[in-house]
């Protein structure tokens, strides 16, 4: 496999991926672990949020989730059967530091040490995300991400974890999807901590990026391997050639995509953010953007969908409203299925920010599944089709010269989908939340074939 499209046309190259391409699946702590307060752990903002009536669909919480905290060994065995080469997990900050800072809770750390050892014993490379949205509640009581000290809190926590695990973990992620933290948690209020203030969101976004930078510095001092950031990216396509729609798409792109990557790679914030945030924009952030920029070893891209947008003054805060595509399929999240967007966004990252190694750190789809029949494989043809088309799109990016090093399916297990509770199923393995029984879906078998053939089987029917 060559990375030069001019030498090997895509059609001849098939869909074989580069040797050593990292095939994985992803989860996050609060979404699967359960036992949130076990062994001395401190509560997180998600524990609080889910226990606040009316916040999560059906009153669901992560108290049990997939009971992974107690079933980790079985879940690793499942991953081994599938042939996964890597597993992206996140660490619950409050298990390590119950108060968010200060005292280290050894049993919490021991849980992740055991998990990492189990993975390595199965030849599965652990990829660790340090923050997947579950801030210790004790820190929220001090303002959480609104407090400028949050960057230092995060770096201190990162240092504790890195010192314990860097001998065995070679790929580290600082934050998962800072845009979702700021937009969902502080603009729309649908995610923890449930605030609705554009001015707060702007400050939180900036503090998250400062925290990312501080954790990278901490890693350079004590870690020996690689650290990067994970962002969710979504192409923002204007619905027409009309200048107003194009300007709306540019604002949406600045808000959704460039707000997080421009400071990290270029040391500046996009000017368009002043229009999006208006008076809510903290002007000091513009000057501080330069302090966020520092080399990272890779970028993780979470890709689910694109947005086609038109100018719509009622669409807050960007003035860019989504336009439904009548000829497209939509997932159970009401996200358009648009595989070409994955190729486009990976190429865009390379073109705008340079040849940084990339991973697709999440990609997948929620669809309602048919009921499980004892022992039988569960058929999920829409999810199989989603993975097939997006893997082809990832391959097309490689054929176009993008340095894509790995792909992680979201998600290994049906899990707690935040404010949707257990109502949305993203797993390639079905979880019966009443019995905790795991049943692989056809998409798990499809993915196992892809891994075994290093991509060659992508175009074949699932047999």
**Which stretches of the chain bind ligand FCB, using CB under 6 A?**
28, 31, 176-177, 180, 232, 302, 362, 410, 417-418, 426
**Between 150-165 and 198-222, two packed helices, what is the crossing angle to 10 degrees?**
30
CB of 63 to ligand FCB, least distance (A): 18
Q: Where are the alpha helices (DSSP H) in 223-300?
A: 243-253, 259-261, 272-277, 283-288
CB of 297 to ligand FCB, least distance (A): 20
- Please list, in sequence order, all residues whose beta carbon lies within 8 angstroms of the beta carbon of residue 9, skipping any fewer than 6 positions away: none
226 has which bridge partners? 171
Residue 410 vs 422, nearer CB to ligand FCB: 410
Single out the residue of 149, 153, 178, 172 nearest to residue 262, CA to CA.
Answer: 178
**Of all residues in the chain, what percent are helix, strand and coil, respectively (each to 5)?**
45, 15, 40
Question: For residue 168, what is the DSSP state?
Answer: T
Residue 232 vs 318, nearer CB to ligand FCB: 232
Residue 134 vs 140, nearer CB to ligand FCB: 134
Residue with tokens 């297990």: 413
Q: Where are the alpha helices (DSSP H) in 278-361?
A: 283-288, 340-353
User: Whole-angstrom Cα distance, residue 143 to residue 187?
Assistant: 16
User: Whole-angstrom Cα distance, residue 151 to residue 412?
Assistant: 31
Say which of 33, 140, 177, 417 is annotated catalytic.
177
User: Whole-angstrom Cα distance, residue 222 to residue 163?
Assistant: 7
362 catalytic per annotation: yes
How many CB atoms are closer than 10 A to CB 441?
Answer: 25
Say which of 140, 200, 336, 362 is annotated catalytic.
362
Residue 111 vs 133, nearer CB to ligand FCB: 133
140 catalytic per annotation: no
Residue 28 vs 318, nearer CB to ligand FCB: 28
Q: State the DSSP H helix or E strand holding residue 216, giving kind and residue range, or none if neither.
A: helix 198-222
How many CB atoms are closer than 10 A to CB 75?
Answer: 21
CB of 415 to ligand FCB, least distance (A): 8
CB of 28 to ligand FCB, least distance (A): 5
Residue 164 vs 365, nearer CB to ligand FCB: 365
Whether residue 392 contacts residue 400, with contact meaning beta carbons closer than 8 Å, is answered with: no
Residue 281 vs 426, nearer CB to ligand FCB: 426
Structure tokens at 226: 């690689």
CB of 203 to ligand FCB, least distance (A): 21
User: Whole-angstrom Cα distance, residue 46 to residue 32?
Assistant: 13
Residue 17 vs 133, nearer CB to ligand FCB: 133
HSE of 63 in the Cβ direction (CA atoms, 13 Å)? 9
Helix, strand counts (H, E) of the chain: 17, 13
Phi-psi category of residue 194: left, alpha or beta, with phi > 0 → left and psi -120 to 50 → alpha:
left
Catalytic residues: 177, 362
């Amino acid at each position: 496999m060559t990375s030069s499209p001019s030498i090997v046309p895509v059609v001849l190259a098939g869909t074989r991926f580069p040797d050593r391409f990292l095939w994985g699946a992803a989860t996050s702590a609060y979404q699967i672990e359960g036992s949130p307060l076990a062994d001395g752990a401190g509560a997180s903002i998600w524990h609080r949020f889910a226990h606040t009536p009316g916040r999560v669909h059906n009153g669901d919480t992560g108290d049990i989730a997939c009971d992974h905290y107690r079933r980790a060994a079985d879940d690793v065995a499942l991953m081994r059967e599938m042939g996964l080469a890597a597993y992206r997990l996140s660490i619950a900050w409050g298990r390590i530091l119950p108060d968010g800072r200060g005292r280290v809770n050894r049993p919490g750390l021991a849980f992740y040490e055991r998990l990492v050892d189990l993975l390595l014993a199965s030849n599965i490379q652990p990829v660790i995300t340090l923050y997947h949205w579950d801030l210790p509640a004790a820190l929220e009581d001090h303002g959480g991400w609104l407090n400028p000290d949050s960057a230092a809190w995060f770096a201190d926590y990162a240092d504790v974890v890195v010192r314990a695990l860097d001998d065995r973990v070679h790929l580290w992620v600082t934050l998962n999807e800072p845009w979702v933290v700021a937009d969902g948690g502080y603009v729309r209020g649908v995610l923890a901590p449930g605030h609705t203030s554009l001015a707060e969101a702007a400050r939180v976004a900036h503090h998250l990026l400062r925290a990312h930078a501080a954790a990278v510095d901490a890693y350079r001092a004590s870690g020996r391997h690689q650290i990067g950031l994970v962002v969710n990216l979504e192409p923002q396509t204007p619905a027409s050639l009309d200048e107003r729609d194009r300007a709306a798409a540019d604002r949406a792109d600045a808000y959704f995509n460039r707000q997080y990557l421009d400071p990290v790679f270029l040391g500046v914030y996009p000017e368009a953010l002043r229009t999006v945030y208006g008076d809510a924009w903290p002007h000091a952030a513009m000057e501080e953007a330069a302090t966020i920029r520092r080399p990272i070893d890779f970028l993780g891209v979470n890709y689910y969908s694109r947005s086609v947008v038109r100018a719509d003054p009622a669409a807050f805060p960007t003035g860019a409203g989504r336009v439904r595509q009548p000829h497209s399929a939509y997932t159970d999240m009401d996200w358009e299925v648009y595989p070409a967007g994955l190729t486009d966004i990976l190429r865009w990252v390379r073109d705008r920010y340079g040849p940084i190694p990339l991973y697709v750190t999440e990609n997948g789809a929620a669809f309602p599944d048919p009921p499980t029949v004892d022992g039988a494989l569960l058929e999920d043809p829409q999810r199989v089709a989603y993975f097939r088309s997006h893997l082809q799109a990832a391959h097309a990016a490689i054929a176009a010269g993008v340095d894509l090093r790995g792909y992680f399916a979201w998600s290994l297990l049906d899990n707690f989908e935040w404010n949707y509770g257990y109502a949305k199923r993203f797993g390639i393995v079905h979880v019966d939340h009443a019995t905790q029984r795991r049943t692989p879906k056809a998409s798990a078998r499809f993915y196992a074939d892809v891994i075994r053939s290093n991509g060659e089987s992508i175009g074949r029917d699932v047999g």
